[in-house]
Structure 1
Amino acid sequence: MWPIFLKTLPFFGLIGLGWLAARTRFFPQEAAAWLTKFVFYFALSAMLFRFAAGLDLARLFDRRFVMAYLAGSVLVWVLGLVAARARGLPLPEAAMEAQCCMIGNTGFLGVPMLVVLLGERAVGPVLMVLTIDMLVFSTLITLIVHASRRGGLRMASLLGVLGGIVANPMIVSMLAGLAWAWARLPMPQPLDEFLALLGAAATPGALFAIGASLAGRKVQRLAASVWLSFAKLVLHPLAVGVAALFVFGVQPFAAGVMIAAAALPVAGNVYILAQHFGVAQQRVSTAILISTAGSIVTVPVVMLLIGQG
């Protein structure tokens, strides 16, 4: 356990450094927002493009992997939705809580950390998890909120959702990289070095930005947020692990990457959606804070279990 904890400690140390810098106001929130924008549009996009361009497409898509992750995630999503509806919450709030239960910080935390800890073999499975989260579940929550507020879905809503997906730089960079790999284009050395240099800023930049963003969050709606954090850190990796290993028979290494990705804390983009729609912002914000703090312990435990097979 201790060696695993020491391996993950530098990543959470960078998050803590960002939190401290923002908490002491040495690094203002405006700077955190711009740093996040740099990572999102440039550094992380360069990293994702370079990773995707080097993938073997014939081995990337695994139907069992996709079905296992979808089955486990949908189960936890429905559980979160039912629990919220049982408390009398309206559908948009219940759906936002369900989103917290299974959308992990795969982009800013998972891609940099899991690839370093598990090796380049983890790139394909991590990108599959990221793609499913963005294409399936981010689309789902957007459609639910639009439909509940406007009495049904309209073409303008669907076009808006599709436009948001197309404009997402992580989606664009991954698709561009996959197209490069499909065309079997050679990677010129100057371009590869440029992408490697820019992408290298993604890991420290993303982790520092996560910490800085946490400094401005307040602990509110504690009971609900603790439940959402428990669902994300414990129930989600448990559900996808059972689905991957005992139902769909996913290859062990890919299953381990899937479980590790599912063990990540609640993603910041859930709060962006909550803020955009004006739905459950306090609960989502506190769940991000609690789950990120809790993942300092839970992620090493999950990594240890994966290492033990």
Structure 2
Amino acid sequence: MLEIFLKTLPFFLLIGTGWLAGHTRFFPEQATAWLTKFVFYFALSAMLFRFAASVDIQRLFDPSFVMAYLTGSLAVWALAIGVAFWRGLPLAEAAMEAHTAMIGNTGFLGVPMLVVLLGDNAIGPVLMVLTIDLVVFSTLITLLVTGARQGRITAATIGPLARGIVANPMIVSMLAGLLWSRLHLPMPAALDEYLSLLGAAATPGALFAIGASLAGRSAERLGPAIWLSSAKLVLHPLAVTIAALFIFHVEPFAAGVMIAAASLPVAGNVYILAQHFGVAAHRVSTAILISTAVSIATLPVVIHWITKG
């Protein structure tokens, strides 16, 4: 257990370094925004392309894996939106809370951390989780919030949503890499070295940016944020575990990667969505802060459990 904690500690120390730089204003908000953009459009995209290009596309898509992750995630989503309705929240706020309860930081934290800790065989399952989150659940939250505001969902809503998904650099880089793999194209040494160098900046850059972005957040709306953080760190991995191991009988290693991904803290892009729509931004921000801090203790426990079978 101590060994796993020490392996995860450097990742969280990088987050802490970013937080310290942001908290002291040595790294201002504008710098954080530009670093995030660099990681998002360049470093992380290079890493995802290189990972996807090395995956056997015929073995990537496993229907039982997809159904297990969707089932577990939707169960938590339904519970969270039900609790929000019970508290008297309108549809847009309830949907944003449900989104917060089951969208983990797979892109900026999960991809670099889980591949390092669990090995290259984790690449395929991590990419599948990331794809489902980006395509299925990002679409769902956008449709619900837009429909709640306009009273209905129209063709004018679908067009920009589809363009946004297609233009997402993480989706584009993964699809391009998978196409490269499917066509069995050779990877020139110079291109591989370029992608490796650029992709290597994704891990420290993303973790530093996470920490720096947390420095500007204050703990507000603690009650709802604690509930959402608990749902993300406890209920989401528990629901995914039940679905993967006892309902759909996913292959053990892939199930372990899925459970580890479900154990990640709330993703930073959930706050971007909340801020963009003007819905529940404070409680989402606080949930990101709390879940990231608590995951320093919870993630090593989950990964230790997975690696010990």
The alignment's TM-score, normalised by the length of structure 1, stands at: 0.99
**Could you tell me which residue of structure 2 aligns to residue 30 of structure 1?**
30
Q: What corresponds to 1:266 in structure 2? A: 266
Shift of 1:85: 0.6
Matched, 1:70 2:70: yes
Q: Does 1:190 align with 2:196?
A: no
Aligned match of 1:173: 173
Aligned length: 309
C-alpha distance in structure 2 between counterparts of 1:58 and 1:87, whole Å: 45
2:247 is the counterpart of 1:237: no
> How far does residue 20 in structure 1 lie from its aligned partner after superposition?
0.3
Name the aligned partner's letter for residue 203 of structure 1.
T
2:116 corresponds to which residue?
116
Q: How does 1:130-145 map to 2 (within 5 A)?
A: 130-145=130-145
Alignment gaps of 5+ in structure 1: none
The alpha carbon displacement at 1:308 in A equals 2.2
The 1-side partners of 2:19 and 2:167 are apart by 29
CA RMSD between the two structures: 0.5
Map residues 1-309 of structure 1 onto 2, 5 A cutoff.
1-309=1-309
Distance 2:100 2:207 in 1: 20
Which amino acid counterpart does residue 257 of structure 1 have in structure 2? V
**Matching residue's letter, 2:260:** A
- The CA deviation string for residues 20-78 of structure 1, in whole angstroms up to 9 with x for no partner, is 01101111111011000000000000000000011101111100000000000000000
> Post-superposition, which runs of at least 4 consecutive aligned residues in structure 1 deviate over 4 A?
none
Question: How far apart are the structure 2 equivalents of 1:308 and 1:10?
Answer: 21
Deviation at 1:297, TM superposition (A): 0.4
Cα deviation 1:6-27 (Å, max 9, x = unaligned)? 0000000000000001101111
Q: Which amino acid aligns with 2:186?
A: P
Aligned letter for 2:111? V
Distance 1:253 1:184 in 2: 26
Letter of the aligned partner of 1:182 in structure 2?
R
What runs of 5+ residues in structure 2 fail to find an aligned partner? none
Once residues 173 and 233 of structure 2 are traced to their aligned partners in structure 1, the CA distance between those partners, rounded to angstroms, is 28
Q: CA offsets per residue over residues 186-244 of structure 1, 9 Å max, x none?
A: 00110000000000000000000000000000100001000000000000000001100
**Matches of 1:82 and 1:195 in 2, distance apart?**
44
Can you list the C-alpha shifts for 1:87-138, whole angstroms capped at 9, x where unaligned?
Answer: 0000000000000110000000000000000000000000000000010000
Quick one: distance in 2 between partners of 1:270 and 1:156? 23
- 1-structure distance, mates of 2:220, 2:144: 25
The code of the aligned residue for 2:180 comes to W
Which whole-Å CA distance do the structure 1 matches of 2:303 and 2:47 have between them? 23
CA distance in 2, matches of 1:72, 1:212: 31
Give, in whole Å, the separation in 1 of the partners of 2:164 and 2:86: 31
Q: Distance in 2 between matches of 1:43 and 1:305?
A: 31
Q: Deviations over 1:172-199 (max 9, x none)?
A: 0000001101111000110000000000
Q: TM-score scaled by structure 2?
A: 0.99
Aligned-partner Cα distance in 2 for 1:22–1:153:
40
Q: Secondary structure at the match of 1:217?
A: coil
Q: CA–CA distance in 1 between the matches of 2:307 and 2:131?
A: 25
Displacement of 1:160: 1.0
